[in-house]
Chain A
Amino acid sequence: MIQVRHVTKKFGRATAVDAATLDVAGGESVALWGANGAGKTTLIRCMLGLLRFKGSISIDGFNVRAEGKHARMLMGYVPQELGFHDDLGVAEAVRFFARLKAIDVPSVTPILEAVGLFGQERKRISVLSGGMKQRLALAIAMLGDPPILMLDEVTASLDVCGRDEFVTLLSRMSGSGRTIVFASHRIDEVATLARRVVVLSKGRIDSEMTCDAFVASQASNTVLHLLMPEAARKPAISHLIAAGFSPSLNGVGVLVPVSPEQKAAPFRLLAEAQITIDDFELLVAHPTTHANHASPEARA
């Protein structure tokens, strides 16, 4: 369905995608995995024909550069964050994009209902939450029932609840024979949606593997992000080092690389030392990055 051949994209002197070659079969769900700057988003934008690049990309036989309109007709796209005009209404936006796809939409209600936006037709997009905007983008992407769905870190701007709901919605769609290519930072998303994982590093495709193999390979890269008051961070680091961990500080807490069977140990240890933990998050460190740069959340 998708053939990417020796695609190279440079921005000035920086190479964002370096000689990438990739095949995605019809009905397959492929995750593009990698640290920030690995080239995931650039590769997706090349597939959509949004960027000029060296090499070739064909979508079901259509060359994205020479036959961009045909190729894009086969793809629905959901970006990381949607930038609609603020005064645009929800139904108005759906109708506008339906016309751009030459699709007759007698009623927008069932389309919005399918993505959980029932009753939002008359609202302005500016009043929608981030999660609702992403649902609207998904509804627009699905207009005309395209055989391919391109998702670019679609949950990056959502909170935990919004993320879970959105991934659930996507997982229902991934089982319908549709080809899905998505970029993600999150192991839970990849485990839920992907059948195959393509690992990118510094613009190059490092490896490709099944989702199960990928999840197993990432177990050793788990990082516990413990959020705690500033005063508690240094004592926590001392206790964790004494117990054999290799913690590091970041702006809002402590990052502790842990093995799968050790995930609860730091909590017990710090509780015994009467050190308060405000919140925590389980992250997956990219092999090419330091634990401090494990995810956008960790960097924040």
Chain B
Amino acid sequence: MNALATFPASRSSTQIKPPGFLSNVCTVGLRELRDAVRSRWFILYTLAFAVLGLAVSFVSAAGAGNAGLSGFGRTAAGLINLVLLVVPLMALSAGAATVASDRERGMLSYVFAQPVTPFEVLLGKYLGLAGSLLACLCLGLGVCAAILAWKGHATQPSSIIWLAALSFLLALAMLSVGVLISVLARKASVAVGTAIFVWLTLVFVTDLGLMAGAMTMRLRIEELFAISLINPLQVFKMWSLHSGEASLDVLGPAGLYAIEEFGSALHAMFSACLGAWIVLPLAAASLILSRKSPL
């Protein structure tokens, strides 16, 4: 069959309708999800997350007798710390690579030459990666919970589901930041390097910075609490503790202040903070991408 037989005389423009917003977002999202799930990082992160989760849970459960995951004991505290380390790294690096690597290989400009808008491409990529992160978290935490239950450690499904949900929100926030980095960077290596630097800053420097700031600048409790709301990792930690059976007073005076001052409004505050971390970097990335050349 020759080319002309397959590609007959051109249609008029009135017969041609571009695909809708949802169609494009789904197409790009499914492609991104498939790529991510097939990639090495997904398998490695899932395995690492599950193995470390199991190790943390067994060590904690051994100390807590048969309490296992029931209640908000050592196990959950261990898992929260694990999530705080692994999930941001996973989400930041996945987000940082997505646009920058496509731009580097010329794929981004080629996709933009199709009937799509930059926002459709960005949202599709974001949702695809979010799907892969959700799968990774569910697999990791799910395997962890299943093995603990099978080994006779009582598990409370609601606490693990709640932890998974909060971890996913944290992943979404970090993914947004990663995507913003990716849109700003010209090279994938620079984007991933920046993402790792951001991860280190959020995980280590902010914690130490808060302590140092509180001591040297004599920050008031309300200022300390307000500053800790800036860091999405701190928000996740406080929300996880607050939503479990543990009390925020484990965090010291700032936690006590938060409970006394805001009480039941804390859930709304935490969700607003993480929501802002999800929406604002993604909106900024979309704005920049639509104004910046994809080349």
Enumerate chain A interface residues (CB-CB to B < 8 A).
45, 48-52, 60-62, 68-70, 72-75, 77, 79, 81-85, 87, 96-97, 99-102, 110-111, 113-115, 142, 144-147, 150, 169, 172-173, 175-179
Contact = CB atoms under 8 A, between A and B. Distances in A.
Interface in B63-108: 105-107
A70 B9 contact: no
Contact of A50 (B19, B109, B115): B109
B252 interface: no
Contacts of B113: 48, 50, 72, 75, 77, 79, 150
Given A51-B293, A69-B18, A147 B27 contact: no
A279 B110 CA distance: 36
A176 B7 contact: yes
Given A111-B6, A114-B7, A172-B2, A69 B106 contact: no
A70 B2 contact: no
A280 B105 CA distance: 33
Given A114-B5, A147-B10, A172-B2, 6 more contacts: A45-B109, A48-B112, A49-B112, A72-B115, A77-B113, A178-B10
A122 B46 CA distance: 29
B106 A81 contact: yes
Give the 4 A-B residue pairs with the shortest CB-CB distance, closest first: A83-B106, A83-B105, A102-B19, A147-B10
Nearest to B10: A147
A115 B24 CA distance: 26
B134 interface: no
Contacts of A97: 114
Contacts of B220: none
20 contacts: A50-B113, A50-B294, A51-B293, A68-B115, A77-B113, A79-B110, A83-B105, A97-B114, A100-B27, A100-B28, A100-B116, A101-B19, A101-B114, A110-B6, A145-B7, A145-B8, A146-B10, A150-B113, A176-B4, A178-B10
B11 interface: yes
Contacts of A85: 35, 105, 107
A253 B62 CA distance: 78
Nearest to B26: A99
Nearest to B6: A114
Nearest to B16: A73
Which of B6, B35, B38, B106: most chain A Cβ within 10 A?
B6
A100 B6 contact: no
B13 interface: yes
Interface of B: 1-13, 16-20, 23-24, 27-28, 31, 35, 38, 105-107, 109-117, 291, 293-295
B184 to A, nearest CB: 17
Main DSSP-derived SS at the A contact region: loop
Contacts of B105: 83-85
Contacts of B6: 110-111, 113-114, 142
A45 B295 contact: yes
Which of B8, B27, B38, B111: most chain A Cβ within 10 A?
B27
Contact of A145 (B11, B110, B111, B291): B11
Contact of A100 (B3, B115, B293, B294): B115
Contacts of B13: 60-62, 70, 73-74, 147
B108 to A, nearest CB: 9
Given A73-B17, A74-B16, A114-B6, A68 B1 contact: no
Contacts of B17: 73, 102
Contacts of A101: 19, 114-115
A96 B295 contact: no
Nearest to B290: A52
A45 B107 CA distance: 14
Contacts of A72: 18, 113-116
Contact of B11 (A45, A52, A147): A147
Nearest to B4: A176
A100 B114 contact: yes
A73 B6 CA distance: 18
A49 B294 CA distance: 11
Given A68-B117, A72-B113, A172-B3, A177 B9 contact: yes
Contacts of A83: 105-107, 110
Given A50-B113, A50-B293, A69-B18, A114 B106 contact: no
A49 B27 CA distance: 21
Contacts of A52: 291, 293
B4 A173 contact: yes
A173 B117 CA distance: 28
B261 to A, nearest CB: 48
A44 B109 CA distance: 12
Nearest to A175: B4
Contacts of A73: 13, 16-18, 115
B114 A176 contact: no
Nearest to A9: B293
A106 B72 CA distance: 53
A138 B63 CA distance: 64
A272 B43 CA distance: 68
A115 B112 CA distance: 23
B2 to A, nearest CB: 7
Contact of A144 (B5, B16, B291, B293): B16
Contacts of B24: 100
A29 to B, nearest CB: 13
A114 B115 contact: no
